[in-house]
Amino acid sequence: MNDRGQARMVDISDKQPTARMALARAVLRMSPATAGMLAQGGLPKGDALPMARTAGILAAKKTSGLIPLCHPIAITKLEIDFQVDAAAGLVTVLAEARTTDRTGIEMEALTAAATAALTIYDMCKSVQKDIEITNIVLLEKTGGKSGPYKRKD
CA 46 to each of CA 34, 37, 43, 97, 131: distance values in angstroms, whole numbers, following the listed order: 13, 10, 5, 27, 18
Q: d(Cα 110, Cα 35) in Å, to the nearest integer?
A: 22
Q: 122 an active-site residue?
A: yes
Q: d(Cα 150, Cα 90) in Å, to the nearest integer?
A: 23
Residue 102 carries which DSSP code?
S
The one catalytic residue among 81, 101, 122, 153: 122
Strand partners, 86: none
Answer for the pair 136, 95: CB distance below 8 angstroms, yes or no.
no
Answer for the pair 119, 51: CB distance below 8 angstroms, yes or no.
yes
Largest interatomic CA distance in the chain: 55
Question: What residues are labeled active site?
Answer: 122
